[in-house]
Structure 1
């Protein structure tokens, strides 16, 4: 597998980590009266229940969970080193990012599930802290799928029963669809979320998953297949 994918993950992860460390260091320095610390400013408002920040954290946590599930499934259905390595990278990266998203919800004192909130409704919210907002058009989810790009239960079952090349091709096609949906959602947060570290994480997702889309198209081509229409 091309080495660019792990490097992309490290770059995105490092950017977020540095942002978090800088914010923490600045906070401690200010609290200790460090003259070199940036001037104190009012703490940013905690994101609202239906804000883009909270909605993205909830929806992307669910989206990532399925990517992790598919990656673990294909790991046991093929011995191809390139596919298994890609699956490991996706599972490891998205599990870690999911933990960050859920951790922010805990930090904000917000629930991880809101019963009356349609998936991705936050992408139509106004002003970052508003109410439900109108559900913008972001491509309809296929019947049986929770969000655009996500696989159905039937597709997951098919992946779990496939072997060898068939499993590799189906995984790459399903993950290609999954990444396209994830990129659209992450772009929404990069534009609308007001929490700097969350925007940075979202942009890192966009960059990494776009790189992987190119990689997976190449891997499908080598197997005589192509992404689904």
Structure 2
């Protein structure tokens, strides 16, 4: 089926991204680039995307326990592994730069959004699921859990792409900009895949 082929393509993208991350860590360790400041786009992106990624990991492990569908479980595993690895890298950079992992400023201030980025019911940034949505995902099983997960993750990816594009435009550390562009490319591919998987289940991404 078409979405099975897309799944293979998305998985390949994830594997390529993982290799790029390993290279980026090594390259950054010997970089002579000026260390970013706490209020820089580089630091802001690292902090905010680490939080954004953590929710994706959480949702992915929830759905893996609530469905037996192998395609959804495989996708969830790939997303959880990739985003957990990227999160570790982002937090590692903050350690390397000796910068705090938490900021007193609202999320996405580095993008000029600030308080406008925060939603309601625990949705800290665009695309993030609300507390109510996460509770609902925890109550569903089978096809219903698959559909809600795919809808939430599609929205989550759209929000993540917006943030990653902001880093591509504003960040100054080369390897971080490259990682952000890799996120954009991989998550667009996964959105296409998840849209096809939703269609196969008689559902659509949320508007």
Paired residue total:
201
Deviation of residue 69 (structure 1)?
0.3
Tell whether 2:47 aligns with 1:63: no
Measure the CA separation in 1 of the matches of 2:109 and 2:202.
38
Question: Which residue is equivalent to 2:163?
Answer: 185
Matched-pair contact (CA < 8 Å) for 1:67–1:91:
yes
1:113 counterpart = 2:102:
yes
Query: Shift of the alpha carbon at 1:123?
Result: 1.1
Instruction: Identify the residue that residue 211 of structure 1 maps to in structure 2.
Output: 189
Seen in structure 2, the aligned counterparts of structure 1 residues 23 and 119 have a Cα distance that, compared at 3 Å, is: closer
For the 8 Å contact 1:150–1:177, the answer to whether it is kept is yes
Report what 1:5 is aligned to.
10
Equivalent residue of 1:63, what SS? helix
After superposition, the C-alpha distances for 1:118-157 in whole angstroms (9 at most, x for unaligned) are: 1111013xxxxxxxxxx379x8554221100000111000
Q: Secondary structure at the match of 1:203?
A: helix
1:18 Cα shift? Answer: 3.0
Can you give the 5+ residue segments of structure 2 that lack an aligned partner in the other structure? Answer: none
Distance 1:53 1:20, change over 3 A: same
- Give the match's secondary structure for 2:12: helix
Q: Hey, what's the Cα distance between the residues in 2 that align with 1:167 and 1:83?
A: 10
Q: Do the aligned partners of residues 48 and 23 (structure 1) sit closer, same or farther apart at CA in structure 2, a change above 3 Å counting?
A: closer
1:84-132 Cα offsets, whole Å, 9 max, x none, are 00000000000000000000000000000012x11111013xxxxxxxx
Worse-superposed segment, 12-21 or 58-67: 12-21
Give yes or no for contact 1:173–1:228 (8 Å, CA) kept in 2.
yes
Larger radius of gyration: 1
Aligned partners of 1:95 and 1:219: how far apart in 2?
23
RMSD: 1.8
> How many angstroms does 1:180 deviate by?
0.2
Other-structure match for 2:137: 159
1:16 alignment partner, one of 4, 17, 21: 21
Return the alpha-carbon distance in structure 2 between the equivalents of residues 158 and 23 of structure 1.
Answer: 41
C-alpha distance in structure 2 between counterparts of 1:223 and 1:101, whole Å: 35
Determine if contact 1:16/1:200 at 8 Å carries over to the other structure: no
Q: Structure 1: any 5+ residue segments left out of the alignment?
A: 28-41, 125-134
Given the superposition, is the C-alpha separation of residues 136 and 58 from structure 1 closer, same or farther in structure 2, using an over 3 Å criterion?
closer
Q: Structure 2 residue aligned with 1:85, among 52, 64, 74?
A: 74
Paired position in structure 2 for 1:131:
none
Offset of residue 22 of structure 1: 4.9
- Normalised to the residue count of structure 2, the TM-score between the two structures is 0.91
Answer with 53-62 or 6-15: which moved more: 6-15
Query: Could you tell me the TM-score, scaled by structure 1's length?
Result: 0.83
